[in-house]
Amino acid sequence: MDTKFWVIQAFNGVSYGALLFLLASGLSLIFGVMRIVNLAHGSFFLLGGYVALTVIWTTNSWLLALPVAALVIGVVGLLMERVFLRPLGFDPLRQVLLTVGFAYLFQQAALDIWGGDNLDIVPPGMLKESAVVGGVYFPMYRVFMIGMAVVMGLILWLTMEKTRMGAMIRATVDDSEMARGVGIDTSRVSMFIFALGAFLAALGGVIGGAFLGIYPGLDFVILPIAFAVVIIGGMGSLTGAAVGSLLVGLADNFGKALFPEISYFTIYAPMVLILALKPTGLFGRE
Amino acid sequence: MKDGHAPRRKLLIVIAGLLALLMITPFTSSYVIVLITHALVFAILAMSLDILLGYTGLPSLGQAAYLGMGAYLTAILAARYQFGLDWTFWVVILMGILIGAATAALFGLLAIRAGGVYFLMITLALAMCVWGLAYRWNSLTGGDNGIILPPRPQFGIQLSDDVTFFYLVFGFFVVSLAMLYILVKSPFGRSLEGIRENELRMRILGYNTWLHKYIAFIIAGGFGGLAGVLWAHAHGLVSPEDVTLATSVDALLMVVLGGSGTLVGGAIGAGIVVFLREYLSTLVPWWQYVLGGVYVLTILYLPGGLMSIPERVRGWRASSPGRSLSDLRPTNS
């Protein structure tokens, strides 16, 4: 276990964290704005990967698959929010069960359309190479993942901090009743956030598909990890999602490398620790 | 529940239903007997969850954890140490209940403080810890492959016979139902309902609501552990699959589908969900559409669950004669 080992593991952890950020930031915002535990969030991730595959098969363009898949799933999310979630009003339990129902429906639909095989999204050749720095190989694809998460994170952060929509979102997270009172259309904010969450998750699915693979059941494999991120970071907080993603990404990688037998435990144990000390997560507010 | 005889009549219906189940099941096909046994095991899990969800207002998304603890304990003891395969089966039952309760006692410390949606998230995450250990701790749990159990215990009676095992599980189910029924009718159960309706008021009245919820959480964990021991022997295989999020969510659906806060509703819901998962899945490849559809339709159209149907029908009947009149009048509701 020399420096090389630590550098590579840390790099892998950070890049995995970057992927988790795409998935978890939407989940966290959805929770913050709508108070919905969206158990169909993993499905958005998986469906994003599948739609991307279809786009790649028909147009042979990976670059096109990225936005198309994210937009298609964004629209799916938007419809789901408008048609089914909105009419339920505020009832966490029923909303959770409804999203589970959708997760099962999506799972079956994906199985019927794309089959049960383990598929791979092949990125363009340029990203398959590695950069060598000081004798350590850094796969370009993982560098790209980190870059993508940083860019998306910046866009999200700027949107949240500098735009009118962002201010409305922050107001809704803090106190949705008050926000409604001062004339913010929280229903519209919810719709936007749910679609955005689906968009980001699908983007994560396309990017993650290249190194996780795309297969039935991935939705429920990735979902709890995203929840760990959200719980650690604090629900509804963008900064929290970023820090949580990094922590979980690193904990997962070092856990698998150092203590393979309890590797999943290394994700969830810090979460339990944080829960015990600060139930709302690192950056969550009461 | 306007007339005083209604509770007694309901009790009689439940007893008649149980007797019918007991009489008819042994004469059905061997596959149906196994199916009903599985449904009864999950009925115990669903009822344990109903204590939290229906009576205390705590929607736990982690009930599979206690089932998993009980099941893994049973499997590890049986497959590794050949313990629990004779009369010691009863010791394992006791240990299963204790490990479920102990796990709940630990998790409860973290989860009970949170309310509403946070509670959902935290119980989900805690159950995932158990799943993570089951999935990865190969040397103890067999990892992804799980643990195959040796033939069921025998102590005078042969539990390897499916009918005998059905009688045993049926017995545990009835005892659980009776104990939980007594619990919810007790003053303690009444205070739980009070907490569900208005926790702040209960606290002002001087109740230690945290402790009430904590105890309810532990009791639910204990019954979950019991279901786990029975599940290990019923299925003959314990794997991380049993501890997944899907199991926890299914348990929630069972309760909501049947009708939360009724105990019996959870048992009925368990029957339906087990039937969909285990029987329908062998018949048609698209069974998940049905399962997903049941989720969506229950939530949208039957929020009170199946147990609320008689009440609704009665409501219709009562309101239908005066309908033309009341339709004209403006109402607040």
Question: Parallel, antiparallel, or unpaired: how do β-strands B147-148 and B237-238 relate?
Answer: antiparallel
The shares of helix, strand and coil residues in chain B, as percent rounded to the nearest 5, are 80, 0, 20
CA distance B293 to chain A (A): 7
Q: Summarize pLDDT for B29-50 with one digit per residue, the tens.
A: 888 899 999 999 999 999 999 9
pLDDT tens, A46-76? 999 999 999 988 988 888 888 999 999 999 9
Question: Which residue reads 């996780």 in tokens?
Answer: A212
Residue B25 has pLDDT above 90, yes or no: no
Tokens 């159960």 found at: B189
Residues B253/B270, Cβ–Cβ less than 8 Å: no
DSSP at B331:
-
Beta-carbon contacts of A282 under 8 Å, excluding residues fewer than 6 positions away, are A232, A233, A234, A240, A243, A244, A274
Below-70 pLDDT ranges, chain A: 1, 285-286
Smallest CA–CA separation between A256 and chain B, in Å? 10
Which residue type does A252 have? D
Q: Reduced to 3 states, what is the DSSP secondary structure of residue B224?
A: helix
Q: Which residue of A has its CA nearest to B138?
A: A261
From CA B41, how far away is CA B170, in angstroms rounded?
9
Does B215 have pLDDT greater than 50? Answer: yes
Q: Give chain A's length.
A: 286
Return d(Cα A274, Cα A254) in angstroms, integer.
19
Nearest to residue A103, comparing CAs of A83, A76, A66?
Answer: A76
Rg (CA), chain B: 21
Measured distance CA(A93)–CA(A4) in Å, rounded = 48
pLDDT category, B95, cuts 50, 70, 90? very high
The confidence score (pLDDT) of residue B4 equals 52
Cα dihedral A154, A155, A156, A157, rounded to 10, equals 50
Give the closest residue to A98 by CA, choosing from B308, B253, B16, B276. Answer: B253
Displacement of CA B304 from its chain's centroid (Å): 17
- Chain B CB contacts of A105 under 8 Å are 288-289, 292-293, 296
* DSSP symbols for B88-142: THHHHHHHHHHHHHHHHHHHHHHHTTS-HHHHHHHHHHHHHHHHHHHHH-HHHH-
B139/A94 CB distance under 8 A: no
Sorted by where each begins, the domain ranges of chain A are 3-217
Please tell me the predicted confidence (pLDDT) of residue A1.
59
Q: Are B70 and B227 in contact (CB under 8 A)?
A: yes
Cβ atoms of A248 and A240 within 8 Å: the answer is no
For chain B, give the percent of residues with pLDDT over 70. Answer: 94
For A205, A237, B142, the CA distances from A121, given in Å and listed in that order, are 10, 31, 31
CB-count exposure of residue A131 (10 Å: 0-12, 13-18, 19+): exposed
Instruction: Write out pLDDT tens, residues B153-201.
Output: 888 788 888 888 999 999 999 999 999 999 999 999 888 888 888 888 8
* ipTM of the modeled complex: 0.81
CA distance A79 to B182: 46
SS3 A138: strand
Q: Is pLDDT at B245 greater than 80 in this prediction?
A: yes
According to the model, what pLDDT value does residue A96 have? 84
Q: Is the pLDDT of residue B329 over 50?
A: no
* Count of alpha carbons within 13 angstroms of residue B223, beta-carbon side: 30
More reliable by pLDDT, B280 or B330: B280
> For residue B320, what pLDDT band results from cuts at 50, 70 and 90?
low
**Chain A nearest CA to B178, separation (Å):** 27
Would you say residue B64 has pLDDT above 90? yes
B328 confidence band (pLDDT: 50, 70, 90): very low
pLDDT, residue A270, reads 80
Of A87, A101, A230, Cβ closest to residue B295:
A101
Say yes or no for a CB contact (<8 Å) between B299 and A101.
yes
CA dist A203 and A226 (Å) reads 14
Minimal C-alpha gap between B154 and chain A (Å): 34
Contact B293 A105 (CB under 8 A): yes
**Cβ contact (<8 Å) for A261 and B136?**
yes
User: Of B116, B311, B302, which Cα lies nearest the Cα of B196?
Assistant: B116
Residue B2 has pLDDT above 50, yes or no: no
Cβ neighbours of A231 in B, within 8 Å: 121-122, 125
Place of tokens 């095991």: B41
Q: Output the pTM of the full model.
A: 0.86
Radius of gyration of chain A (CA): 19
Under 8 Å between Cβ of A207 and A113: no
